[in-house]
Structure 1
């Protein structure tokens, strides 16, 4: 039997009680005792593009967005709140060129700059990166408790290693503060959705500070059997052990049961409005994720110039699926044929350590580090996923999960990683900043297969470099150019199979140039970038022997991106971004000796864009936004097209009091029938229909 992970949503009552006690203790702390100065990312104004704000994701050297020779973007908590983004993927896909390809199979997934999936787009939480197993990433999922979400577009291998060719996304936590404050949020919405969050920070003794953030939601969904629930608890503490030595601790627990919806079959090659609310999964389907993380960091300020830190992190994830995942509409019989009765269970455990030294002396900043990690991963499934059934298109009994194949251990892997990196930012003159870095990653993967299949021990390695130059024409305008390299695994490192173990990591190279400018004292900010990325060593059929696979394929992308934020006057602000991506396979031969050269990779739109008009005056604020995603192919042969779509969203907020905000969020105003992504060539995940969310937010 498969181990069930059905749990009740996290209760917030114990958390609220604990917060009240902690705040009470913090209120009587001696405020004359002050912690050593700590630079908090995101303390600046939240509106605009934040070009003057330090970026924590694109570099470890504390450079501002304007100084970095890279394409970076950030979304503040205030911006996400004003737009009514209640999921991280909603917020991320409002940034430039990021497209959502999430499904219950991959957890959370994106496409950027011509590359897709969790093997090319890295997801981080506070700079910590869980390694990806079987293509699945499960958090961060909601923005509660985060100060900023930052996006680095293009290869980020210098900072985070392989698997970052397209983009790197980092959710930056709200930091503890000795100044006591409490915030809370409650909401109701379509699909009988109920959500609530609470966060608090304050002093801890004479030398420390704490922060606690808790969140939970429950929904019956906008489709049949569309129930979902999420819950999390984020805790962090910092403490000054001595004037020169700081201790930071965090302990997190997250549980998710997303919608058990794997898409809707196409009717005559397109979406059917009559099937919009249908869910063809079985009645006892299950998708559940549980993530736990603990981080301990010591920071030693040895001298005004030299800081040494050591960060030890432990992460554990359990994921469970039990679903019927493939549906086909049989027009002749007017039935939906169901197959692929899939049961899968993941156990993943990761322990890592990062030792880092940072030197800041005048015009030169240098950081060097060593990262090491061990990851244990176990995969169970009922492969080959037998079972089939048919149901009527509407008004059917969903049935139960019934597969002749038993859930059993399939394989496990033990992975050891080591990485060494150095990054240097040198100011050649008041207007010229040179940024360079190198990194070496080494992965050793040992695969064990209890079913008697071949076992192996593989060692993979990669080198990455980045060299960039920023030319600040004046305090408000900078031009930049960079060349960088990176790598992606064939498949996923932790779930590497015997065939892929023979291959090396793919290699990617990027050339990028851009401009960043702030006008009218920061009232208007804009950036633009041009880039070209090539990725070699992807798997292709041997042109001399179609029965063999070799590492001789390549793909490339080139594109242009622009982002702007302009305050029209004291009350009105317009924000817009657009991305054009020309991606193709330069060399790829698939089964049947069919060449895909010149075809566009799947999940990659040529054009995507976002537009927001914001109003804020007195006690009222409002926003109207549009999102456009161009058509995408669902296959490398470019025979199946996911149509383009445009959706409209809006929000209206009223400050009942100085510290109480009531906000109405409206989604998909035109009730557009569209597919957000595909699960296969004949089955698309339909976007939510028109609905509303009402939230109340309180701060003290």
Structure 2
């Protein structure tokens, strides 16, 4: 047999320096076509793996809230990946994806991915993102982009330990296997005793990928991932008259046998064939599975008069979520056009088990609680099965009219078929839901380093998690939203930095309100709107000094909303857990093998609920990292978090129970590369 000569393959390093310009990145999170961020008529940015290492941000939530306009509202009950962006809050308006695929939201929970290890970049597309991801993305979509197999051999090892018994390790490796195979493996594990009672938490994950390139124009990828998270069993601290009681900072009122646990498995196979210089075909098939289990006391009411805490809401809940799908796409370049056409198909199954109606109660000392054990008079039983079948067709076109003008247009149609069965009595219903979204944008390039854009887009959000629609919500349709946005992006000469500015207005109609003539009857017809300004910047003031920062202002309100059986009017109120102002600033100074980095994160005040009766105070937290390149392969880092030991709340569990942020801590880590 004659020996086959394979074509020459040129391998280029895909990793970018920690300070690489955001506007030089490809815009895969924000568009199906190949357009750089500088040319894209939309707001998208993110953090690279080098930035996450540099700042020691090993949680996805920590990394993402360094980006413009994102604040955290995560809690154990919602999976920890709930955010606020552009005036909208929660998992039904801020989507979370991995390599462009989202798992259907079940009962308001998103927990994957928890750790940032193993990702090349984590990006955020702001504003309605239904064109890319379907329903539930009115405020923004977060997309974690995995590290890919490479034929170049590399190994990374992370070891770290710190305050409160914290220890973590990460291993990443990739390289060639023979002439046509390459691989990538990333593993991470973490544990801590926590800074309060019952604060123990742990997580572990394994991400594996294999790439086969039998020909220069054909690539096949297989991946298998496993993750287990056991977050801190902490559901907040009771407050008094809207104030945090400092003496309760390290107290936890849960039970000794409390459970918080998330297990995830993900399998994918992807094929990509470049049929010609102008035509690319790709197909991806996947299966995701998530099992979640909670058993906790979740409501605490502090009584200062007698120094006691009354506990209620004895919840035990289980989620079994499975989703299988296929994504097919075609990319075509012709006559100044880049065209993407695709069909997404998925089928999700959800079983909810619980001890509803969650009765039970007890009283413990506020300062020396005897935690006891969980007990409920209500049986833990399967309650509901549901399924959601989704079909989506999309078309997107980027037309380069001239060297200065780029016109982008796209449209997507989603068809959802929902079915629910109540296991206990056999009742149920079927519900079709449909949504159409589109985006039209125009970019003008003043020169190679600067551009301005204008775009208008639409999107749709569910009134509740799509996999958990209740009988009382069966008559509702998707909430519709629209946005108009203008922006400017500029890179400074000689790669010295960049800056961007975006201004927007979003209006979301058909949110749930109350019938004005019958306040007991929920109806669609409410309206929520926001307008805002976002600024980002990076500048090298010299060879040794670099600054990165962002600032966001949002004016969000309910234009029409009646709540509760009394029909309380919330018109003009700000939505709960939405800050008006957020900001981040990092300064980095390098001297030889040493680098000192100081970061400041500011989150403005937020209301605990839509009534705007209780206000969570604003907070500013300072972090610092001192890095020493011990040799070309090893970097040691001393990390200080919340250096001022600021006492603050990240989000409200209820008006009188808030989740507190982490106190001061110190870590020492080593990152080794081979």
Of 630, 633, 641, 1:659 maps to 633
Of 608, 621, 636, 1:647 maps to 621
Alpha-carbon offset, residue 617 of structure 1: 2.9
Distance 1:409 1:484, change over 3 A: same
**1:68 maps to which residue?**
40
**1:670 maps to which residue?**
644
SS at 1:333 equivalent: coil
* 1:46 maps to 2:18: yes
**Cα distance in 2 between the residues matched to 1:37 and 1:65:** 25
Q: Is the 8 A contact 1:48 1:523 kept in 2?
A: no
* 1:611 maps to 2:577: no
**Cα distance in 2 between the residues matched to 1:35 and 1:408:** 60
Of 385, 394, 400, 1:421 maps to 394
Of 322, 330, 340, 2:295 maps to 322
SS at 1:282 equivalent: coil
SS at 1:191 equivalent: helix
Equivalent residue pairs, number: 669
Alpha-carbon offset, residue 36 of structure 1: 5.5
* 1:683 maps to 2:657: yes
**1:278 maps to which residue?**
251
Alpha-carbon offset, residue 83 of structure 1: 1.0
**1:479 maps to which residue?**
452
**Cα distance in 1 between the residues matched to 2:571 and 2:8:** 60
Distance 1:582 1:638, change over 3 A: same
* 1:582 maps to 2:555: yes
Of 81, 97, 102, 2:74 maps to 102
Distance 1:34 1:397, change over 3 A: farther
Alpha-carbon offset, residue 294 of structure 1: 0.6
Of 335, 343, 347, 1:374 maps to 347
Alpha-carbon offset, residue 39 of structure 1: 8.8
**1:5 maps to which residue?**
none
Alpha-carbon offset, residue 357 of structure 1: 0.5
**2:568 maps to which residue?**
594
Q: Is the 8 A contact 2:253 2:369 kept in 1?
A: no
Q: Please report the TM-score for the alignment, with normalisation by the length of structure 2.
A: 0.98
**Cα distance in 2 between the residues matched to 1:39 and 1:386:** 60
Q: Is the 8 A contact 2:242 2:615 kept in 1?
A: no
Alpha-carbon offset, residue 321 of structure 1: 0.1
Q: Is the 8 A contact 1:33 1:206 kept in 2?
A: no
**1:14 maps to which residue?**
none
Distance 1:453 1:270, change over 3 A: farther
* 1:147 maps to 2:125: no
Q: What pairs up with 1:391-540 in 2 under 5 angstroms?
A: 391-452=364-425, 454-540=427-513
**Cα distance in 2 between the residues matched to 1:428 and 1:494:** 43
Alpha-carbon offset, residue 300 of structure 1: 1.4
For structure 1, the residue ranges without an aligned partner over 5 or more in a row are 1-29
* 1:548 maps to 2:521: yes
SS at 1:283 equivalent: coil
* 1:122 maps to 2:102: no
**1:693 maps to which residue?**
667
Which digits, 9 at most, give the CA deviation of each residue in 1:78-101, with x for residues without a partner? 111111112111110010000000
**Cα distance in 1 between the residues matched to 2:93 and 2:596:** 36
Alpha-carbon offset, residue 453 of structure 1: 6.3
Q: Is the 8 A contact 1:35 1:207 kept in 2?
A: no
**Cα distance in 2 between the residues matched to 1:299 and 1:414:** 30
Q: Please report the TM-score for the alignment, with normalisation by the length of structure 1.
A: 0.94
Q: Is the 8 A contact 2:164 2:194 kept in 1?
A: yes
Alpha-carbon offset, residue 34 of structure 1: 6.5
Q: What pairs up with 1:71-470 in 2 under 5 angstroms?
A: 71-107=43-79, 108-361=81-334, 363-452=336-425, 454-470=427-443
Which digits, 9 at most, give the CA deviation of each residue in 1:13-52, with x for residues without a partner? xxxxxxxxxxxxxxxxx9x966767898x54443144211
**Cα distance in 2 between the residues matched to 1:660 and 1:281:** 42
Alpha-carbon offset, residue 545 of structure 1: 2.3
**Cα distance in 1 between the residues matched to 2:21 and 2:366:** 47
Give the aligned CA root-mean-square deviation in angstroms.
1.4
Q: Is the 8 A contact 1:33 1:207 kept in 2?
A: no
Q: Is the 8 A contact 2:7 2:216 kept in 1?
A: no
Alpha-carbon offset, residue 204 of structure 1: 1.6
**Cα distance in 2 between the residues matched to 1:572 and 1:46:** 13
Of 632, 639, 650, 2:606 maps to 632
For structure 2, the residue ranges without an aligned partner over 5 or more in a row are none
Distance 1:188 1:347, change over 3 A: same
Alpha-carbon offset, residue 542 of structure 1: 1.0
Q: Is the 8 A contact 2:197 2:252 kept in 1?
A: yes
Q: Is the 8 A contact 2:599 2:624 kept in 1?
A: yes
Deviates more, 1:525-534 or 1:594-603: 594-603
SS at 2:67 equivalent: coil
Which digits, 9 at most, give the CA deviation of each residue in 1:286-345, with x for residues without a partner? 000001001101111111111111100100000000000000001222100000000000
Q: What pairs up with 1:9-48 in 2 under 5 angstroms?
A: 43-48=15-20
Alpha-carbon offset, residue 362 of structure 1: 5.0
Distance 1:249 1:410, change over 3 A: same
Alpha-carbon offset, residue 364 of structure 1: 1.0
| Poorly superposed stretches of 4+, deviation over 4 Å | 32-40
Of 526, 537, 546, 1:573 maps to 546
**Cα distance in 2 between the residues matched to 1:266 and 1:213:** 41
Of 10, 27, 40, 1:55 maps to 27
Alpha-carbon offset, residue 547 of structure 1: 2.5
